[in-house]
A and B are shown apart, each in its own frame.
Chain A
Amino acid sequence: MEHLKEIINTLTNPKILFPSILFLYFFIFPPNDYLLKINKRLKLYNIWTKKGAVVLFSLLIGFFAFGLTDPNFQKIVAKPDNVPIVGLIFLVVFFLWLSMYQARENDQRIAQGKLPNEAEDAKEKILVWPDLVYIEFIALILCAALLLTWAMVLKAPLEEPANPSVSPNPSKAPWYFLGLQEMLVYFDPWLAGVLFPTVIMIGMMAIPFIDNNRKGCGYYTFEDRKMAVSIFMFLWLVLWIFLISTGTFLRGPNWNFFGPFEYWDIHKLEALTNINLSEYVYMIWLNRSLPSNILLREGVGFLLIALYFGLAPLVLSKTLFKNIYHRLGVLRYSVFTILLLLAVSLPIKMFLRWAFNIKYIVAIPEFFFNI
Chain B
Amino acid sequence: MTQSSTTSDPSSNKEIKCNDQSIDRRSFIKWLTVGWAAFAAVLGGYGSLILRYLFPNVLFEPKQSFRAGFITDYNLGEVSEKFKDQFGVWIVREQDKIYALSTVCTHLGCTPNWQPSEGKYKCPCHGSGFYKNGINFEGPAPRPLERFKIELSDTGELLVDKTKKFQFEKGEWNDPESFVLV
Which A residues are closer than 8 A to B by beta carbons? 164-171, 181, 184-189, 193, 253-256, 267, 269, 271-274, 360, 365-366, 368, 370
Q: Which of B108, B117, B123, B142 has the most CB of A within 10 A?
A: B142
B123 touches A167 (CB 8 A): yes
Instruction: Please tell me which stretch of B18-26, B46-54, B72-80, B124-132 contacts chain A, meaning at least 4 of its Cβ atoms lie within 8 angstroms of it.
Output: B124-132
10 A-B pairs besides A167-B111, A189-B107 with CB distance below 8 A are: A165-B88, A167-B113, A169-B124, A184-B107, A184-B108, A186-B140, A267-B117, A273-B138, A366-B169, A370-B142
Residues of B148-182 at the interface with A, using a CB-CB cut-off of 8 Å, are: 169-170
State the CA gap A361–B156 with chains docked (Å): 47
A185 touches B88 (CB 8 A): no
Task: Please report whether the interface of chain B is mostly helix, strand, loop or mixed according to DSSP.
Answer: loop
State the CA gap A171–B109 with chains docked (Å): 12
Which of A187, A193, A253, A370 is within 8 Å of B124, CB to CB? A253
A255 touches B139 (CB 8 A): yes
- For A353, the closest partner residue in chain B by CB is B140
Q: Which of A167, A169, A186 has the most CB of B within 10 A?
A: A167
Provide 12 A-B residue pairs closer than 8 Å at the C-beta atoms, listed in order of the A residue: A165-B86, A166-B111, A167-B110, A167-B111, A167-B124, A171-B110, A185-B126, A185-B139, A188-B140, A254-B127, A267-B118, A273-B138
State the CA gap A167–B129 with chains docked (Å): 14
State the CA gap A273–B86 with chains docked (Å): 31
Which of B84, B118, B126 is within 8 Å of A165, CB to CB? B84
Whole-angstrom distance between the Cβ of A73 and the nearest chain B Cβ: 21
In the complex, B33 has a CB within 8 A of chain A: no
B113 touches A169 (CB 8 A): yes
State the CA gap A20–B103 with chains docked (Å): 39
State the CA gap A220–B170 with chains docked (Å): 57
- For B128, the closest partner residue in chain A by CB is A255
A255 touches B124 (CB 8 A): yes
Whole-angstrom distance between the Cβ of B59 and the nearest chain A Cβ: 16
- For A193, the closest partner residue in chain B by CB is B108
B124 touches A274 (CB 8 A): no
- For B170, the closest partner residue in chain A by CB is A366
- Which B residues are CB-close (under 8 A) to A274? 137-139
B111 touches A165 (CB 8 A): yes
Assuming A165-B88, A166-B111, A267-B115, is B142 touching A188 (CB within 8 A)? yes
In the complex, B85 has a CB within 8 A of chain A: yes
State the CA gap A171–B71 with chains docked (Å): 35
- Which B residues are CB-close (under 8 A) to A255? 123-127, 139
A365 touches B111 (CB 8 A): no
- Which A residues are CB-close (under 8 A) to B112? 167
- Which A residues are CB-close (under 8 A) to B115? 267
Q: Which of B110, B111, B126, B137 has the most CB of A within 10 A?
A: B126
State the CA gap A366–B127 with chains docked (Å): 22
A272 touches B124 (CB 8 A): no
- For B138, the closest partner residue in chain A by CB is A272
- Which A residues are CB-close (under 8 A) to B86? 165
- Which A residues are CB-close (under 8 A) to B111? 164-167
Which of A169, A181, A368 is within 8 Å of B142, CB to CB? A368
Whole-angstrom distance between the Cβ of B108 and the nearest chain A Cβ: 6
A184 touches B140 (CB 8 A): yes
State the CA gap A253–B124 with chains docked (Å): 6
- Which A residues are CB-close (under 8 A) to B169? 365-366
Which of B85, B108, B142 is within 8 Å of A365, CB to CB? B142
- Which A residues are CB-close (under 8 A) to B113? 167, 169
A165 touches B85 (CB 8 A): yes
10 nearest interchain CB pairs?
Answer: A255-B127, A169-B124, A272-B138, A165-B85, A167-B110, A365-B143, A167-B111, A365-B169, A171-B125, A167-B124
Residues of B93-125 at the interface with A, using a CB-CB cut-off of 8 Å, are: 103, 107-108, 110-113, 115, 117-118, 122-125
State the CA gap A269–B111 with chains docked (Å): 19
Whole-angstrom distance between the Cβ of A86 and the nearest chain B Cβ: 23
State the CA gap A176–B33 with chains docked (Å): 46
Whole-angstrom distance between the Cβ of B174 and the nearest chain A Cβ: 16
- Which B residues are CB-close (under 8 A) to A273? 137-138
State the CA gap A171–B111 with chains docked (Å): 10
State the CA gap A83–B149 with chains docked (Å): 46
- For A256, the closest partner residue in chain B by CB is B127
Which of A168, A184, A267 is within 8 Å of B126, CB to CB? A184
